Amino acid sequence: MNDIYKKQVALLIRIMPSVYRIKDFAVHGGTAINLFHKNMPRYSVDIDLTYIPVKERAESLDAINNHLRTLKSYIEKSTPGIKVIHKHDVWKLQCTLDGATVKIEVNGTKRGIIGETEDRKLCERAETEFNMTCKARTVSYSQLYGGKIAAALSRQHPRDLFDCKYMEMASFHDVKNGFMLCLLGSDKPVIESLQPNAIDQTEALEKQFEGMSDTPFTYS
């Protein structure tokens, strides 16, 4: 496993207790899947967040940035030496410590949740490897995995395809509602997501995935 990714995961785990304090945020995406729902089949180095309340867009975006300001303060107080940059226009925090950077990003388009959030403990493999623990508030199973399928169809990024390949799902019915939510909230027309053209992600595989997992994965 790549040492740079390992430093990022270690920083992410240190940050997560501060994220958990913001009750209006729930974690979705690869971090929720690989570090909290599964036993770390791959590293995940970013924190993707869903804003839970359903309000008017302008009110929601103002609230998101207010929460990010609070989160920035929490992180700075709990992690001496960390540098946190708040990018207001894209609802993002960039956290850097000792050469490792973790991005925290709130989705400004797909707000609200289907079902109930889940409190999940850091997986055993991550606890053992990093000698730390934490917990996360994640979106529901349907929204988590339905969103991952929608992302894989849209971006065809190797991280998304890896997560889908090793997805343990009894029936598509279990994630149908979450898939529809994320499909309809996409910036692409539905037909483009359901009938995507192939995207050459060879460079992303080499530069943004290799070293994240000890489980073999290729496009072949």
Q: pLDDT, tens digit, for every residue of 72-96?
A: 999 999 999 999 999 999 999 999 9
| DSSP of 11-40 | HHHHHHHHHHT-TTEEEESHHIIIIIISS-
Rounded distance, CA 107 to CA 89, Å?
12
Same domain, 130 and 168: no
CA distance 34 to 106: 19
Average pLDDT of the chain is 94
Same domain for 162 and 67? no
Q: Does residue 122 lie in a domain region?
A: yes
Give the C-alpha separation, 7 to 45, whole Å. Answer: 9
Are 104 and 175 members of one domain? no
Contact 182, 150 (CB under 8 A): yes
173 and 82 together in one domain: no
Q: Per residue in 11-50, pLDDT tens? A: 999 999 999 999 999 999 999 999 999 999 999 999 999 9
Question: pLDDT at position 199, please?
Answer: 86
Q: What is the pLDDT of residues 52-70, one digit of tens each?
A: 999 999 999 999 999 999 9
Minimal CA–CA distance to 110: which of 72, 71, 150?
A: 150
Asked if 118 and 26 sit in the same domain, the reply is yes
Whether residue 216 is contained in a domain is answered as: no
Query: Burial of 148 by CB count in 10 Å (0-12 exposed, 13-18 middle, 19+ buried)?
Result: buried
pLDDT of 220 higher than 80: no
Q: Count of domains in the chain?
A: 2
Whether residue 152 sits in one domain with residue 135: no
Q: Are residues 3 and 77 in the same domain?
A: yes
- Domain annotation covers residue 220: no
**Domain closes at, from 122, 139, 156:** 139
User: With bands split at pLDDT 50, 70 and 90, how would you rate the model's confidence at 194?
Assistant: confident
Q: Which domain holds residue 5?
A: 1-139
Clarify whether residues 39 and 86 are in a common domain.
yes
| 12 shares its domain with 71 | yes
Q: Could you tell me the two tokens for 4?
A: 């740079």
Q: How far is CA 117 from CA 20, 112, 133, in A?
A: 12, 11, 20
Residue at a domain's end among 97, 117, 139: 139
Helix, strand and coil percent figures for the chain, each rounded to 5: 50, 15, 35
**Which of 16-20, 148-152, 154-158: highest mean pLDDT?**
16-20
- Please say which residue of 104, 119, 139 terminates a domain: 139
- pTM > 0.75: yes or no: yes
Same domain, 175 and 129: no
Nearest in space to 34 (alpha carbons), one of 165, 177, 218? 165
The reply to whether 217 falls in a domain is no
Mean pLDDT, residues 158-173 taken together? 88
Q: What is the SS3 assignment for 81?
A: coil
Q: Where are the alpha helices (DSSP H) in 114-175?
A: 124-130, 141-155, 158-165
Shared-domain flag, residues 99 and 132? yes
pLDDT band for position 169 (cuts 50, 70, 90): confident
Residue 51 scores a pLDDT above 80: yes
Residue 213, pLDDT > 90, answer yes
Q: Does residue 67 sit in the same domain as residue 127?
A: yes
